[in-house]
Amino acid sequence: MDSSAQGRVVLITGAAGGLGKGLVEAFAREGWRVVAAEHSKVAQEEGEAVWRTQMDVVSPASVHACVEEIMQRWGRVDALINNAGVIADELLPQVSEEDWDKVVDTNLKGAFLCSQAVLRPMLKQRDGNIINISSWSARAGGRGQSNYAAAKAGLLGLTTSLAKEVGSRNVRVHAVLPGVLPTKMTSHLTPEQLNEYAAANALKRINSIEEVARFVVFLTSLKNVSGQIFPLDSRIGRT
């Protein structure tokens, strides 16, 4: 456990998903107070380290209500992990407007709303971290993923622009490209497809939830780094 993390508060969106659960566990293990925000309605639960609550990242009212309650409880927000995401893969001519909006809103607008909500306390306390969970698709694209790739590419632009805006107040902003992970989002992939993804990596294997979560926690400890994009698997070629 990192003693310097005692009393620090992190808000993690998409906390019910595979990576979300890994992030919650990793931050709690290091002594953070963790707000695990889930889209589905849950009974609000509070343990020694983790407070589970419902939040709709595309609803300004829901987001601001959650952040207000965090401030009432603990008086600070030290880190935001914009992890909430959905997919609705389809070739562009077949993508419905509803699916386009759902994917872009959840993956990109949600990060905007959550970042905007936590910035007031972060700027006031002159310290904070915002980490956006993006994707390799943002750089390389993906067949049938025009909506997802566009949203995740938007996260990269948000990351670098916001880092320049808030750096003078000591708020650091990063994006992480986790790589293919064994989560519900990739459960539809066949063994052959997973092998193809592994083969595209220099190390010939896909990443793990535990390693990504450890890196994200580590990233919040860096004081002199901001505005960076971190690919976390071993695919090489696009910068």
Q: Residues near 98 by Cβ (< 8 Å), separated by ≥ 6?
A: none
Question: Is 96 or 233 the better-scoring residue by pLDDT?
Answer: 96
Catalytic positions are: 148
Residue/partner pairs of 217-222 with CB below 8 Å, 24 or more apart: 217/23, 217/26, 217/27, 217/30, 219/129, 219/131, 219/174, 219/176, 220/10, 220/78, 220/79, 220/129, 220/131, 221/2, 221/4, 222/172
**Residue 46: pLDDT band by 50, 70, 90 thresholds?**
low
For the chain, the straight-line distance linking the first and the last C-alpha, in angstroms and rounded, comes to: 34
- State pTM to two decimals: 0.92
pLDDT for 10 equals: 98
* Span 73-89, average pLDDT: 95
Q: What is the pLDDT of residues 160-206, one digit of tens each?
A: 999 999 999 999 999 999 988 877 777 677 777 777 777 887 888 87
Q: Does 133 score more than 90 pLDDT?
A: yes
DSSP three-state, residue 139: helix
Domains and CATH numbers, the chain: 3-227 (3.40.50.720)
Phi, psi of 50 (to 5 degrees): -120, 130
Q: What is the pLDDT of residues 223-239, one digit of tens each?
A: 999 999 999 988 887 54
**Residue 42: pLDDT band by 50, 70, 90 thresholds?**
low
